[in-house]
């Protein structure tokens, strides 16, 4: 009788231990799932500028850097072009990497534009060709236009092909992709790149979302 009781106690202990192990496994799984899902959700902030999300007339980004005085790995269409320091440094890393891969000849044609400058650009452009003041991404200092010396369009160059594959690794997205004008409000601009940081750029690159869709999903 005493023997049997001991055996019962022992099997009860075994069951308790098993329950503990199972509970621990379930908790680990739940925690892994929870933090896994959480980590795929973007928690930062990304500036969205378009027709519906306008910058005020007095918006000036902090820490603009003159590219002419700093740049090493790309050329410039003017000595007046500026970008925020973070954007410039990311662009420098990106074009340096392109150069290392044997792809060079990039020419940045436009960077930061003030509200006043965008007013001039808008006034001088054909209807529908330029953003109204306040709605241009160039006013953020986070976007630039790039080209090469090519008689054909930029999108037919090896420089464009390299950027399409690698820009996200340096935090840049092609902001106005083909066939997305219904969402971005801007038709295809293969030359316009926007700095959003590597995490966001990689998510956008992988999913093929626009910045509008990304911001909407992570609101
Ligand atoms: Zn542009």
CATH of the domain at 213: 3.30.1380.10
Same domain? For 138 and 207 the reply is: yes
Q: Which of 189, 198, 199, 212 is catalytic?
A: 189
Q: Is 112 exposed, middle or buried (0-12, 13-18, 19+ CB in 10 A)?
A: buried
Q: For residue range 66-108, list pLDDT tens digits in order.
A: 999 999 999 999 999 999 999 999 999 999 999 999 999 999 9
Distance from Cα 152 to the centre of ligand 1, integer Å: 18
Distance from Cα 72 to the centre of ligand 1, integer Å: 21
**pLDDT value of residue 27:** 74
Distance from Cα 145 to the centre of ligand 1, integer Å: 5
DSSP 8-state assignment for residue 149:
S
Dist. CA 48–CA 55, nearest whole Å: 9
Same domain? For 15 and 88 the reply is: no
Section 150-174 average pLDDT: 95
Cβ pair 113, 135 in contact under 8 A: no
Pinpoint the alpha helices (H) of 41-124. 85-100, 115-124
Same domain? For 36 and 78 the reply is: no
Can you point out the beta strands (E) in 44-142?
64-66, 75-76, 82-84, 107-110
Same domain? For 121 and 190 the reply is: yes
Dist. CA 212–CA 182, nearest whole Å: 11
The total number of structural domains that make up the chain: 2
Q: What are the residues whose beta carbons fall under 8 Å from the beta carbon of 66, sequence distance 6 or more? A: 79, 80, 81, 82
Percent of the chain with pLDDT over 70: 89
Distance from Cα 44 to the centre of ligand 1, integer Å: 24
Q: Is residue 27 part of a domain?
A: yes
Same domain? For 202 and 126 the reply is: yes
Section 176-187 average pLDDT: 94
Same domain? For 81 and 160 the reply is: yes
CA 158, distance to chain mean position in Å, is 22
Structural domain harbouring 190: 64-217
Same domain? For 10 and 103 the reply is: no
Cβ pair 67, 76 in contact under 8 A: yes
Q: Is residue 3 part of a domain?
A: yes
Q: Which residue has the higher pLDDT, 173 or 4?
A: 173
Section 148-157 average pLDDT: 92
Distance from Cα 130 to the centre of ligand 1, integer Å: 9
User: What would the two tokens of residue 65 be?
Assistant: 């850097």
The band of 42, judged by pLDDT with boundaries at 50, 70 and 90, is low
Distance from Cα 70 to the centre of ligand 1, integer Å: 21
Same domain? For 29 and 94 the reply is: no
Dist. CA 74–CA 108, nearest whole Å: 7
Q: Which residue has the higher pLDDT, 128 or 215?
A: 215
Active site residue 189: yes
Same domain? For 26 and 74 the reply is: no
Number of H helices, E strands in the chain: 7, 7
């Amino acid at each position: 009788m005493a023997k049997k009781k001991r055996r019962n106690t022992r099997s009860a202990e075994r069951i308790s231990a098993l329950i503990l192990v199972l509970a621990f496994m379930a908790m680990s799984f739940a925690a892994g799932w929870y933090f896994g899902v959480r980590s795929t959700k973007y928690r930062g902030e990304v500036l969205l500028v378009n027709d519906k999300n306008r910058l005020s007339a007095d918006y000036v980004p902090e820490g603009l850097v003159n590219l002419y005085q700093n740049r090493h790995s790309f050329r410039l269409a003017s000595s007046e072009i500026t970008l925020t320091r973070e954007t410039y440094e990311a662009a420098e890393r990106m074009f340096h990497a392109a150069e290392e891969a044997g792809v060079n000849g990039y020419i940045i044609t436009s960077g930061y534009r003030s509200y006043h400058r965008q007013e001039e650009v808008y006034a001088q452009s054909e209807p529908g060709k330029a953003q109204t003041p306040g709605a241009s991404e160039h006013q953020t200092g986070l976007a630039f236009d790039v080209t090469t010396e090519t008689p054909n369009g930029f999108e037919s160059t090896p420089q464009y092909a390299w950027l399409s594959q690698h820009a996200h690794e340096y935090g840049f997205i092609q902001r106005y992709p083909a066939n997305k004008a219904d969402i971005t409000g801007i038709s295809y601009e293969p030359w316009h790149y926007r700095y959003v940081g590597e995490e966001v750029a990689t998510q956008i690159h992988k999913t093929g979302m626009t910045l509008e869709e990304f911001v909407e999903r992570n609101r």
